């Protein structure tokens, strides 16, 4: 066990909240290891090779660099911790959130990524388990404790570190003692198409037919792929990306409504305003005013949730 002595696990960024049914995350790459625990609902974590299905009691650890996304089949409560095994990950210390979405031009910087745990831990990533009934309440108790104690004092930091070790103990169990969870092969063409839409949705001239041609499939097959994988059409997914981006800009910038429409991939500002009202029941201007009146919170496509970034862990 001497090889494990250098371990100094740290989690400077953690998040807890609920995703509604149908929520689909954009593809992204992590700089650290993200531990995701599902306390209720159903969904999955999908990479370019596999889909890992999650329900209540599922625990997933996603490694750095791996392109992936998550989605929710039903309302899904998630607890997410960004883990650095040695307390040296530069991304956790210098970035607001230690990951890169594929819709940005940001380059993944290898020097900021976390190091893997020692081979003696015998962990293979992505790690995907389902905790037994008797393990779920202790897991939730440890997660609540971690969120309860920002390390503002030495005692609070000690409580928090103890909770983090208890959370990790479920992942460090001897392989085979925890029930495996379901996974299957991911359709690589769908994953490639989703990656392209995540990257190019800002472009008002983007055509799904061009995406289909680039992947050597028909537009009709592209539609079927999206409906089968995430329960909506490719056009519906594209519009959701654009609306979510517009919501973010409305709440965080002083751009005009016309400028926000164009920056979100809508070539016609009037169409954007009508479409936005149809989806939200209010105009973009009314939406902006309501956001300005709300207390500061983290928003995931309209979902208000709790996030903590601490100074130590």
Name 32's Cβ contacts closer than 8 Å, sequence gap at least 6. 64, 82, 83, 84, 89, 91, 92, 98, 113, 114
Is 271 in contact with 239 (CB distance < 8 Å)? no
Is 44 in contact with 73 (CB distance < 8 Å)? yes
pLDDT in tens, 141-163: 999 999 887 777 888 888 899 99
Give this prediction's pTM. Answer: 0.87
Mean pLDDT in residue range 21-38: 96
Residue 174, pLDDT score? 66
Residue 150, pLDDT score? 76
Q: For residue 176, is pLDDT > 90?
A: no
The DSSP string of the chain is: -GGGTT---EEEEEEEEEEPTT-BPPPEEESSEEEEEEEES-EEEEESSEEEEE-TTEEEEEPTT--EEEEESS-EEEEEEEEESSS--HHHHH-SSSEEETTS-PPP-GGGSPPPPPGGG---SSEEEE--HHHHHHHHHHHHHHHH--SSSHHHHHHHHHHHHHHHHHHTSPTTSSEE--EEE--HHHHHHHHHHHHHTT-TT--HHHHHHHTT--HHHHHHHHHHHHSS-HHHHHHHHHHHHHHHHHHH----HHHHHHHTT-S-HHHHHHHHHHHHSS-HHHHHHHHHHSPP-EEETTEEEEEEE-S--
Residue 21, pLDDT score? 94
Residue 172, pLDDT score? 83
Q: For residue 24, is pLDDT > 80?
A: yes
Domains and CATH numbers, the chain: 2-183 (2.60.120.10), 187-294 (1.10.10.60)
Tokens of 170: 């479920």
The DSSP string of 271-294 is: HHHHHHHHHHSS-HHHHHHHHHHS
Residue 294, pLDDT score? 63
Separation of alpha carbons 221 and 241, rounded Å: 21
Average pLDDT over all residues of the chain: 89
pLDDT in tens, 199-250: 999 999 999 999 999 999 999 999 999 999 999 999 999 999 999 999 999 9
Residue (of 223, 264, 271) closest to 245 by Cα position: 264
67: left (phi over 0), alpha (psi -120 to 50) or beta: beta
Is 9 in contact with 85 (CB distance < 8 Å)? yes
Residue (of 66, 128, 71, 126) closest to 102 by Cα position: 66
Is 93 in contact with 11 (CB distance < 8 Å)? no
Mean pLDDT in residue range 163-174: 89
pLDDT band for position 177 (cuts 50, 70, 90): confident
pLDDT in tens, 276-303: 999 999 999 999 999 876 654 443 433 3
Is 24 in contact with 240 (CB distance < 8 Å)? yes
Task: End-to-end CA distance of the chain: give it in Å, rounded.
Answer: 23
For residues 304 and 132, the model is more confident at 132
Residue 17, pLDDT score? 95
Mean pLDDT in residue range 259-268: 96
Q: For residue 123, is pLDDT > 80?
A: yes
């Amino acid at each position: 066990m001497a090889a494990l002595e250098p371990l100094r696990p740290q989690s400077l960024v953690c998040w807890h909240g609920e995703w509604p049914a149908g929520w689909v995350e954009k593809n992204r790459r992590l700089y650290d290891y993200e531990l995701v625990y599902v306390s209720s609902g159903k969904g999955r974590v999908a990479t370019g090779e596999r889909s890992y299905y999650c329900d209540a009691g599922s625990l997933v650890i996603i490694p750095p660099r791996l392109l992936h996304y998550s989605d929710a089949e039903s309302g899904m409560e998630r607890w997410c911790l960004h883990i650095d095994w040695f307390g040296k990950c530069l991304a956790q210390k210098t970035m607001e959130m230690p990951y890169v979405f594929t819709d940005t031009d940001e380059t993944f910087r290898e020097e900021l990524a976390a190091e893997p745990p020692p081979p003696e831990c015998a962990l293979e990533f992505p790690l995907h388990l389902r905790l037994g009934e008797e393990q779920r309440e202790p897991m939730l108790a440890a997660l609540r404790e971690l969120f309860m104690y920002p390390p503002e004092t030495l005692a609070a930091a000690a409580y928090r570190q103890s909770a983090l070790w208890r959370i990790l103990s479920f992942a460090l169990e001897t392989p085979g003692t925890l029930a495996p969870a379901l996974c299957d092969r991911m359709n690589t063409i769908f994953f490639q198409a989703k990656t392209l839409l995540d990257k190019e949705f800002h472009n008002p001239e983007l055509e799904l037919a061009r995406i289909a041609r680039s992947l050597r499939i028909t537009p009709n097959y592209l539609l079927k792929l999206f409906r089968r994988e995430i329960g909506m059409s490719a056009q519906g997914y594209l519009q959701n990306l654009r609306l979510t981006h517009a919501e973010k800009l409305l709440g965080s910038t002083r751009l005009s409504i016309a400028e926000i429409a164009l920056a979100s991939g809508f070539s016609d500002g009037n169409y954007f305003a009508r479409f936005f009202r149809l989806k939200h029941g209010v105009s973009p201007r009314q939406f902006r005013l309501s956001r300005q009146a709300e207390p500061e919170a983290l928003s995931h496509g309209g979902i208000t949730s709790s996030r903590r970034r601490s100074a130590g862990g």
